[in-house]
């Protein structure tokens, strides 16, 4: 794998256990409670809080930094083992709760909180036990059923869900050995992974037809008896496919999704190694996270103009995907959507796109050009890393920063136009852009991050505007064609190795405020002949000008602290 995206690949692999933390999650704390916040969708999930006690109120919204997040979930094992947690109030914004969130809590251990074998919190069915009725009717008014609420229950035989329920969450009925029937209302629009795994329904061979377990009008799971070319056939048209329904089916080659289906769910075709074609109807409006993850032979899975969302990692690792249509209804391209789709040559972005999250096009080595819409305000780290044939980029005015490794390894990128308003060039933002010749640094820029221009071998000249306050370590390392540098007036410190290896650098103009030149700042700048020194300089670091063979050792004030071998190898 390309060295520029291998680290991102490793970090994303940790997120492919889709049942726990949201893909874009970041840790945050609000009023002593830990959350996982999703900056893309401005939502929050209650994270791990192992020491909560007493009575707890979860707010509907939290404020972290400059953003307000809506709390939509209580995460896996969120309060597990909190024996002194006696009660909790959950907001109406909650869309998902994990049964495991309350394992071992005072709430679950208190028998008075149980009614007819059920534990309820604010009209949410959290868990059941052996005293639940074998034929159980979930009452109307129940707004949610927690993931795993019936898991392992050997008493229940039949469950009727109310019309107010929209989701059967993952592992809800897992290992319910005696469960034979679940009445699923039309209000249910999604079924989580392994919702019926190990249940009496799952074990009943009569329920399976040609390798598919279909309950009423919902395809719940498949097995290895699935035909290579699968066409949905059922007396009642299939309207819903469960998460991971086809995951790992190595014999599956093609699928035609019926026009009654409106969503391709999370990891639906995860790791289908021989899947080549998926026919997707115009009725589909949503593609879930990791829907086609690691389908390396997939060539065709065209989406219609009706699609409103493509989830994180949806086409991750689809190395033979040749083209894709992005609807103008899409406003966010989520994390790693087309990661390593290295056959993808051209793609038109939605005209109203607001965000391109981390790694969306990383490793798409055949894309030559992408026009970014003016509505764009955010480009995440490694968004275009490893796009080896990308030649030119114009960054829209609403983008305020080039994030970490955003264009790392774009080896044919020769020009990038930055708007006024860019305040920072992040760590390794243009690292390895060996063909880069032209870049304008806007007056708004105050930071050039570590290794931002490392190994930009064709960069011949760059104007460092006077607002730049930080040129960080190895910022211009090995920029071999750079010939002259004038440090901005706002800069007081030049960090370690900033211009190390700039072998054709001949002239450096130090500004009047510069006080410190860090270690190896100009190491091996062997063509350097002239440095315009200033009176404000107080420190020159170790090996700062080591092996600058054409530079004469300067006569400096005795107040200047000079590090070991600072001028070794100079004239």
194-212 average pLDDT score: 96
Q: Tell me yes or no: is domain 1-18+245-390 CATH 1.10.3720.10.
A: no
> pLDDT by residue (tens digit) across 501-548?
999 999 999 999 999 999 999 999 999 999 999 999 999 999 999 999
- Cβ pair 530, 552 in contact under 8 A: no
pLDDT in tens, 464-481: 998 999 999 999 999 999
pLDDT digit string (tens) for 535-550? 999 999 999 999 999 9
Q: Exposed e or buried b for every residue in 312-327, given b needs 16+ CB within 10 A?
A: bbbbbbbbebeebebb
Mind listing the pLDDT tens digit for each residue in 95-107?
999 999 999 999 9
According to the model, what pLDDT value does residue 16 have? 44
pLDDT of residue 220: 96
Work out the average pLDDT over 342-364.
Answer: 95
Q: What is the pTM of this model?
A: 0.91
For 20-53, how does the pLDDT look when each residue is reduced to its tens digit (9 = 90+)? 445 667 899 999 999 999 999 999 999 999 999 9
Which is more confident, 460 or 447? 447
Same CATH fold assignment for domains 1-18+245-390 and 19-191: yes
Arithmetic mean of pLDDT over the chain: 94
**Band of residue 14 on the pLDDT scale cut at 50, 70, 90:** very low
- CATH number for the region 19-191 comes to 3.80.10
Q: Is the pLDDT of residue 11 over 80?
A: no
For residues 28 and 37, what is the distance between their CA atoms, to the nearest angstrom?
7
Q: What share of the chain is helix, strand, coil (3-state, %, to 5)?
A: 5, 25, 70
State the pLDDT at residue 7. Answer: 53
**What percentage of the chain has pLDDT greater than the value 90?**
89
From residue 290, how far is each of 11, 65, 240, 385 by CA, in Å? 15, 29, 17, 20
Contacts of 568 (CB under 8 A, 6+ apart): 543, 546, 547
Q: Where are the domains of the chain?
A: 1-18+245-390, 19-191
Q: What is the pLDDT of residue 553?
A: 86
Query: Which of 187, 140, 154 is closest to 168 using CA atoms?
Result: 187
Residue 482 has pLDDT above 80, yes or no: yes
Task: Calculate mean pLDDT across residues 240-248.
Answer: 97
Nearest-Å Rg of the Cα atoms of the chain is 29
> What pLDDT is stored for residue 438 in this prediction?
84
């Amino acid at each position: 794998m390309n060295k520029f995206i291998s680290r991102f690949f490793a970090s994303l692999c940790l997120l492919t256990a889709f049942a726990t933390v949201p893909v874009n999650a970041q840790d945050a704390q609000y009023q002593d409670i830990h959350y996982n916040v999703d900056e893309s969708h401005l939502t929050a999930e209650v994270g791990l809080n192992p020491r909560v006690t007493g009575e707890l109120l979860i707010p509907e919204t939290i404020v972290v930094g400059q953003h307000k997040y809506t709390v939509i979930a209580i995460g896996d094992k969120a309060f597990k083992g909190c024996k002194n947690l006696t009660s909790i109030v959950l907001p109406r914004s909650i869309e998902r709760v994990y049964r495991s969130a309350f394992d071992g809590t005072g709430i679950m251990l208190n028998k008075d909180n149980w009614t007819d074998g059920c534990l309820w919190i604010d009209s949410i069915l959290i868990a059941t036990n052996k005293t639940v009725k074998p034929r159980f009717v979930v009452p109307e008014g129940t707004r949610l059923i927690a993931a795993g609420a019936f898991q392992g229950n050997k008493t229940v035989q039949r469950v009727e869900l109310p019309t107010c329920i929209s989701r059967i969450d993952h592992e809800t009925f897992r290992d319910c050995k005696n469960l034979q029937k679940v009445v699923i209302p039309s209000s249910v629009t999604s079924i989580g992974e392994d919702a019926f795994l190990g249940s009496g329904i799952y074990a009943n061979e009569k329920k399976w037809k040609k390798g598919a377990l279909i309950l009423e009008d919902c395809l719940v799971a498949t097995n290895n008896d699935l035909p290579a070319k699968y066409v949905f056939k059922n007396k009642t048209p299939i309207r819903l496919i469960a998460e991971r329904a086809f995951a790992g089916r190595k014999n599956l080659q093609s699928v035609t999704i019926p026009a009654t289906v409106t969503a391709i769910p999370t990891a639906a075709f995860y790791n289908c190694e021989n899947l080549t074609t998926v026919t997707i109807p115009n009725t589909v409006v949503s593609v879930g996270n990791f829907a086609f993850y690691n389908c390396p032979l997939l060539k065709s899975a065209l989406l219609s103009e009706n699609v409103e969302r493509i989830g994180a990692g949806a086409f991750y690792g689809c190395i033979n995907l040749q083209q894709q249509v992005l609807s103008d209804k899409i406003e966010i391209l989520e994390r790693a959507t087309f990661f390593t789709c290295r056959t993808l040559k051209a793609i038109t972005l939605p005209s109203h796109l607001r965000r391109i999250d981390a790694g969306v096009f990383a490793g798409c080595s055949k894309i030559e050009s992408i026009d970014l819409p003016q509505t764009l305000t955010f480009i995440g780290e490694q968004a275009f890393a490893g796009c080896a044939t990308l030649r030119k980029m114009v960054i829209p005015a609403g983008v305020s920063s080039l994030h970490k490794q955003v264009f790392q390894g774009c080896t044919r990128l020769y020009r990038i136009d930055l708007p006024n308003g860019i305040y920072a060039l992040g760590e390794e933002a243009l690292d390895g852009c060996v063909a880069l010749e032209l870049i304008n640094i806007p007056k708004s820029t105050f930071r050039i991050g570590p290794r931002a221009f490392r190994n930009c071998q064709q960069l011949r000249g760059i104007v460092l505007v006077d607002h730049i306050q930080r040129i960080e370590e190895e910022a211009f390392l090995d920029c071999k064609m750079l010939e002259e540098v004038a440090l901005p007036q706002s800069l007081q410190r030049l960090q370690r190795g900033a211009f190390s290896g700039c072998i054709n650098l001949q002239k450096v103009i130090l500004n009047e405020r510069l006080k410190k030149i860090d270690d190896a700042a100009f190491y091996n700048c062997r063509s350097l002949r002239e440095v315009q020194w200033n009176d404000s300089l107080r420190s020159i670091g170790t090996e700062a000008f080591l092996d600058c063979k054409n530079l004469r050792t300067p006569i400096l004030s005795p107040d200047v602290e000079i590090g070991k071998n600072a001028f070794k190898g100079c004239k």
